[in-house]
């Protein structure tokens, strides 16, 4: 089978073998990519139309007890200026975000012991009380099953925890010995089991990553069946052990987005900030490769530059309203509309966009 036929097969069957994924990922050309993106876009349009879901990202702490080699807020980075937002600050971000039309708030942070289960559940339940029509997503790393259960009971709807790589040897090259892929996977299974909508994901072009590793990521997500998959290019951080490593590429990241859309047609697929960082129109290109979610920054401008996971991160100088308008305009420029909607995952039986209530376009919010 040639590579174009493999894409036809993926379109029909929504899965390939590890060797087949490998063959495809190892043969990326502009022609093959365009062939893939036509199909990944088509299936995205069948399920989600030209709608784009937005999630307001609140980066509430950059303290982290972990030491992942790729990350700018790892505990060993003494140059990072640490901050944490208090509950009131977070609620102010939500208030602003709600006014701008956001119906999902993503609370993301390092693994910061200050934020005990009590503090997190208090924040989550306050947001849900004030904004019952909104979804709350947590992205705060590896916790015990009991903690996850407490967050869920407090009203958290979703949880993002990127697996980073599905290959154990590769995982060890990106993380210190105290972290393990097995524990990460256990967390993801617990989260799913508890009832969260779950997002996993990985970096494209991270140090030591092989084509086989990326194929393993595809098989892992096919098996896990997450509701969301967040991927972006690896971008070196100058104060990390990987400061001299090469960045992931736009081309390969887009190709992986297309493969993920054909593999899990209903999945929520963000066009990430990292993608927008390596190319000025990276996020637009991500949408055209099959992505359907964007996550503008809702953090207070005063802390944005401090949440530097990688060098040259975009959107660190803008106000939330500017960020949202900027993204709405970018999406409009390629024929897509940002919608006011919790943007829940659509089950295969329920994926005709006409029958999802409560959705209105927010043209009036666009300049």
Residues in touch with ligand 5AD (CB under 6 A): 70-71, 162, 164, 203, 232, 234-235, 237, 274, 309-310
Q: Tell me which of ligand 5AD, ligand FES, none is bound by residue 164, counting a contact when its beta carbon lies within the kind-specific cut-off of 5 to 8 angstroms.
A: ligand 5AD
The least CB distance from residue 294 to ligand FES, in Å, is 8
Query: Cβ neighbours of residue 302 under 8 Å, at least 6 residues apart?
Result: none
Conformational region of residue 141, where left means phi above 0, alpha means psi within -120 to 50, and beta covers everything else: left
Give the integer Cα–Cα distance in Å for 208 and 196: 32
Contact partner, 70, from ligand FES, ligand 5AD, none, Cβ < 5-8 Å per class: ligand 5AD
Least separation in angstroms between CB 36 and ligand 5AD: 23
Q: For 144, left (φ over 0), alpha (ψ -120 to 50), or beta?
A: beta
Among 32, 36, 161, 315, binds ligand FES (CB under 6 A): 315
Whole-number CA gyration radius for the chain: 19
Alpha helices in 162-269, H assignment, sequence order: 168-174, 181-194, 211-224, 250-263
| Contact flags string 246-285 toward ligand FES, x per CB under 6 A | ----------------------------------------
Place of tokens 């959107």: 315
Binding window for ligand FES (CB under 6 A); candidates: 48-56, 68-76, 192-200, 318-326: 318-326
Does residue number 101 form part of the binding site for ligand FES (CB under 6 A)? Answer: no
**51-54/104-109 β-pairing:** unpaired
- Reference 290, options 311, 270, 273, 316; nearest CA is 270
- Minimal distance in Å, beta carbon 329 to ligand FES? 8
Residues near ligand FES (CB under 6 A)? 296-297, 315, 318, 322-323, 326-327
């Amino acid at each position: 089978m040639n590579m174009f036929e493999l894409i036809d097969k993926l379109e029909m069957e929504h899965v390939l073998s590890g060797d087949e994924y490998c063959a495809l990922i190892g043969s990326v050309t502009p022609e093959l990519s365009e062939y893939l993106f036509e199909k990944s876009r088509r299936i995205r349009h069948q399920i989600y139309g030209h709608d784009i879901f937005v999630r307001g990202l609140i980066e509430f702490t950059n303290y982290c007890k972990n030491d992942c080699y790729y990350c700018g807020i790892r505990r060993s980075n003494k140059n990072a200026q640490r901050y944490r937002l208090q509950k009131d600050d977070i609620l102010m971000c939500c208030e602003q975000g709600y006014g701008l039309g956001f119906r999902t708030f993503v609370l993301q942070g390092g693994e910061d012991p200050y934020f005990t289960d009590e503090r997190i559940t208090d924040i989550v339940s306050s947001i849900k009380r004030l904004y019952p029509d909104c979804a709350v997503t947590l992205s705060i790393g590896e916790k015990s099953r009991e903690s996850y259960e407490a967050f869920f009971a407090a009203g958290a709807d979703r949880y993002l925890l990127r697996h980073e790589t599905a290959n154990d040897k590769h995982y060890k090259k990106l993380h210190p010995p105290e972290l393990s892929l097995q524990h990460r996977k256990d967390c993801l299974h617990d989260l799913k089991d508890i009832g969260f909508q779950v997002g996993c994901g990985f970096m494209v072009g991270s140090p030591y990553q092989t084509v086989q590793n990326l194929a393993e990521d595809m098989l892992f997500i096919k098996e896990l069946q997450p509701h969301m998959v967040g991927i972006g290019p690896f971008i070196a951080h100058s104060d990390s052990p990987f400061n001299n490593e090469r960045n992931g590429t736009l081309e390969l990241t887009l190709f992986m987005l297309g493969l993920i859309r054909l593999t899990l047609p209903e999945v929520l697929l963000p066009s990430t900030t990292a993608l927008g960082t390596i190319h000025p129109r990276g996020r637009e290109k991500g949408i055209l490769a099959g992505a359907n979610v964007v996550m503008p920054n809702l953090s207070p401008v005063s802390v944005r530059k401090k949440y530097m996971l990688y060098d040259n991160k975009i959107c660190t100088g803008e106000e939330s309203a500017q960020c949202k308008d900027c993204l709405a305009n970018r999406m409009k420029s390629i024929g897509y509309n940002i919608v006011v909607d919790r943007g829940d995952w659509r089950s295969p039986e329920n994926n005709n966009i006409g029958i999802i209530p409560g959705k209105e376009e927010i043209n009036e919010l666009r300049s």
